Structure formats: C-alpha cells, structure tokens
Structure 1
C-alpha cells in the first residue's frame, strides 16, 4: 500500500516546518519533500491546511480504566486506590478489559495518539486484541502487585503475555514486565520479576516516586529511598520505563542516569491527584529521557496527549518562574520522539525518510490557528484534540477526516457503558 500526503505543513525533526508531501510505502515513510520518481500512490490525502506531526506516544496509561472515568474524583491517591479503584478492578472480567481498552483506543486515535504503553491486568491478551484490531502500537505489561496472594501467578501471566504477544500484530506489540510500584512489591519479589524479565530480554515498566507518602513508607520499611531500594534488586538492569518520578533527590537522579532510566511524566494526573510536580527541567538538564503519559482515564480524566503536551509546556514555566523551562517544541518532542525512545521503539516519533509511518494530521482551519506565525507554537498552545483530522500508524489509515476506519465507535461506546454500569452499580 502506497499513500501520498500532498502539500502538508510538515514538522521536521529539527522543529522547522515546511510545506511538503509525505510519501508512504508500506509501513515506512519513503520521502518527505520531493516525491520519488515513479511513486504511484494507491491513496492520496490532501494535506492543504494540515499540520503533519509524528503520531503521539502515550508513554504511561491504564487503558481499561476508561470504564472508571468520573467514578471516583477529587481525593488523594491512596484513598482513591484503596477505597474506590482497586475494589472495582477486582470485579473486572475479560470482556471488561477488552471493551475498556477499545474505548481507550477510540479516544486515543481520535486525539492523534498512535502508540500507548499500558500497564494493567488481568486478561492483557484482550488489550493485545484491541491493539491488533485498531492498528495502533501497544507496549503492554501485566500489572504485578507483589503483596497480593497471587503475586507469583501474576509474574507467570506476564511471562505468558511476553511469549505469546511480544512482536505480534505485525510487530506493533511490545511486551514489558509491569511490577506496580516499590510499595506494592517487596525486595525478594522484585528480584523474581527482575530474573524473569532478564531471562526473556524484556524491559520493565514501573511506577516510581509518585507521592511523598509512598516514599516515606519505603524509607520507614527499608531505610532508604525507592530508587536505591529498587536498584539493589537488579530490576533496573533490564531497561526501565519509570512512570511519574515526581519527588527525587540527587542520589536518585544519579541512579536514573547510571541505568539510563526513561521517565513517563504525567502532568495531568499528578495535578489532579495533587501528587506534586516532577522536576522535568532538572531531568532534561541531566540528559534523562522524559516522555509524557496520560495515566489512566480515572485519574486524568482523559487520554488526550495533546493536552498533556500543553500541560507540560505550561506547568513547568509557572513552577520554575522560567518561561523557557519547557519550550513548545520540547513539549511536542516529549509527546512524540522522546515518547518513542522512552517505550523502547526505534524509527518511531520522527517524520523523515525511513521512519515508521506513524503520522497525525491536524487541521489548521479554525480561528485558533489564525494567523500562522509559528505552527508548532499554535499546536502546543492553541490546538485541541478536536483539530485532529487524520491518523496513520504503520502506514495504515486509522482515521480519515474524523471517521474511524478500524473500530466501530458506536458499538464500543455502548458495550463500554454496559460494562461500567455492571461494575459500579
């Protein structure tokens, strides 16, 4: 399949924008600019008044938590988890996971996201089904809580998920291991997770340092802060995606640099749960990869990556009193190029020849896009998810002119509502 996007405003890897065409041959971008001689497109997309950016990468979410959107709001993290979220999640069956993830896929595609890193479970194979059907990329991990009676079983489920689905859906599925957090996974248990991941060559996705309370709990139990505690278990030897990383000291940042730990910053969720503000400017100065995630839709309450990009650009300006803390282009890269790096994907997150054809086209026809002095600035500070017009992933059109091509939106909304009603009644 060959697709030609004609005459769009293309955001290049260096941040400049140029009027150009994008030739897509199969799953990859064949050219940006001059169309190769003899390129015969099977599909032509008019890029006039469109801004072409890499598909957004949601580096941390819990897709099936869409079923709990607006169910429990305006409370601190531990009350929210222990008294509201975990009791409902304990009732989830296979179909709940499927329809919740399908609802998430609808929302993500319609807001321009092509890749998501998901930690949830059980029944993560149903999320893999959604990835395969939707045409998105999924970086999946079975959420593992070590203090639960069936903790060992959860590790085995993650092993099975890796063996059955890593590299599936034409290579669009990646599987990581998902130990939930240091406060739910004791040291000996994390060592078991580390061994299982290392035996398979898998990387790790874990929550780290989200709140002051959990850090205090770890210090009380083990006499050290979370990163030092987890480092001793060997978990960081596999390659690590660490979600949140809100409260860090110098020693922990040094550990992150030593192990090349990548961060999934979740500004919307951290603000809503009053968890704090991650030291993103400091992490950037230290050369640590910082990506963006939405977290789950029950703590955000949406999966809109463009909103996370906007929040990242604004939040760190106001907390640091520095208008240059996270410039617009850097925020966009956190949601695209750096996101791909954070979740371990190569050739994703950049619009250039040879890269995977994960492309989001944003309409610039609205009043908020006039005048067009700087398209990247307009996207980050003025754009909205409703402006996303067309989305391609791996060269396949997932949405064209706001119409989904791979998913039945009406059926998914109906089934997701039915599942949510049963779980929460």
Structure 2
C-alpha cells in the first residue's frame, strides 16, 4: 500500500514538472507542486490508518474496585416486631367513703409516693360515727362486766343449791351474750375508724399522677365508677409486641432442620427502637411469650420488661422490639450496597474471580441484618464481592481489587454524621486510557 501511494506521488510531481517554465507560469507551477505534496501526505496517513496500525499504541488499564472477602461468622438473628409500651402498674384512684372534697393535696403530673395524701374529704360525720361507736363499746363492756360478775356468783350459789339450775344457766348465757356484744361494738368502732381514715385518700402505688377529675367542693360517693385520678408506675415499663404465627412456624422448621441454632437463656434480651428510628439506651428482658394465636390477626402476643430510669418511655408509645430468634453459626453476610437487581427483582452481585476478572453471580437472600444481607445461596466463603466501583465495570472486565474495611467505613459515617470523603480503597476511580 505504501509503495502504490509513493508511485502516485511521483506521478503527481512529474505532472507538475511538465508545466511550461515561462516566468508567467512560475507561481502556478509552485502552487501545483505544494498542492500535490499536501495530497500525497494525506493519502499516506490514510493508508497507514487503514492498515490498522495506530501511530501510537494505546493500552487500557484495569479499573480499581473495592471488594469484600466473604468470611463465615456466627450471627444472631433478630426479628423486628411492632409493639406498644404499657405501664408496669396502673391504679385508678376512687373514694371509699362518701363526702365533699375539701382539698386536693397533690400537684397534677408530679411523681407521688405510695401512701402520700391526695384528697381530703369532709370528715365531720365520720368523726361523729367514730365517737358513737366508741361509746357503744364502752356501754357493751360495762354490761359485760355486770353479767360476768352475776355469772360467777351464781356458779358458787348453785353448788350449795341456793339457786336453781335454770337460773345458773341463764346467767351464764347472759354473760356470753354480753361478751359477744362487746365484740360487735368493737368491730363497729373499727369500721368507723377505717372510714374516718378513708376520708383522706392516699396514693395506692408510687408513680406519676395524672390530672384530677374533681375539684374541691365536689361530692363523691363510695366506690363510684368515675376515677378521681390515675397513677402509673413507669419504671420499669412493659412492651407488648406481636409476632406472626407463620414466622414462628417457619422458625421452628429451620431449627429442626439444623440451619439455625436456638437462642438459649432464661431471660432473652430484647432491644428497643423508638418510633423515630433511634435505639433505646436500655435493654429489656422477655417476660412472657403467648401460646394462643389471635383468631383475627393470626399473631402471638409477647411481653418484655424494660428499664425506664429517665422516664423516656411513656404508656402507649409505638416502638420496635428486636427479639433474638435464632443463631446462624456459619453465616455469610454481603453488604447491601453490593447487591443489584434486574427488572424481575432477582438479586445478583459481581465477584472478582481468579485473575481479577469479574463474574456476575445470581444469589438468594434470606433477610436483612443491619446494613447487610444474610446469604442463603449463590456464594461461598473466601470469594471477593465488589462493593465499590461496580458502576463503572461489567462482567468479564479485568479489574484491580482493593479490600475495603466496611466496619471502619461505617464508623466514619456515624462519627461525622455524613458520608465521608472516600479514599482510594473505599471508592476506586477508573483510570482513563492514554490517547
């Protein structure tokens, strides 16, 4: 090809030399010669390009990607279950005697102690009843002393036949009856004193007290249906949550199959997440697991006892309970950011095989464990999964793998409160080929 082009170039130069050599054609001949030289140079370059041999060879460099090497580990599996907080103790305060409220002796919303006075009921009538009962006791005791003395005297007289047997027996019965009258009078006095004590309504439990339903001057009756106020004890707190019966059955099957190990312990620790997604500072203990499935919702009810020293939890709050359900002894976890899905939703990852060549691998995922997926099948221990830079590569590409420390990366994010500046090992950048 180069020889043909050179021959054509020589022909062009010869044609240019045949132009008349008169002085008038000198500029024209010079123009023809320059034009043909330019054409020849262009044809020579084109021929070289068509020959497939670039003037300067360009080498494509391998793209640097971040990878994580899968290692088996013992992983506790948690079930995230919705729940509501319940007060550990709740007491509705009601009057046990009738009367007019004279005073309210507490501050609404404050913390009260067991036995602390809450209301004072007008006790004038109750005091009078108590004094009357005390007088009745004194009268009964006086009568009992008289009849007891008569009975003792008749017991001596009957021995010498000074009185009849009937008179003796009647005196003994009268003495016993007088003794019973004293007991009845004392019981009435005790009742009067109890009612007088109930004129001052006290807190039955310690806790935080709610609003008062009555004000001084209100008439209240014994054992009325409307509570005067309510006291709740909030340390500790109950957390009631539900679990699907289908999940329970599936877990039992997996335990029987040996895939997972059972979580042992008398008191299983339960972690709590608040409704804003933050972690609650204190762990609770599982106190009760239901055995009857709700025929409407198909769920079981469970209850945990959670410390609440700061009073952050309040009755009726929505929370998430993280309940340990099983232990995966040889779990393989892949970061969620490494998993992509096709249009049908099937998950897959890119694996750096031997020779640092990428392979697309379909996987089956079990459940989310934090920011990772628990792998069910598709990968094995020791394989390298691409977690960073996979947007710039595809299956079959040769890459330069760099190991990524996912724990350190997550720690930097949590410390700074924002995505950190990525280093070369964390966010490999593709290096463009030289031109």
Which has more helix, going by share of residues?
1
* TM-score bin, normalised by smaller chain: under 0.3
Larger RCO: Structure 1 or Structure 2 (Cα < 8 Å, ≥ 6 residues apart)?
Answer: 2
TM-score of the aligned structures, taking structure 2 as reference length: 0.17
TM-score of the aligned structures, taking structure 1 as reference length: 0.18
Larger radius of gyration: 2
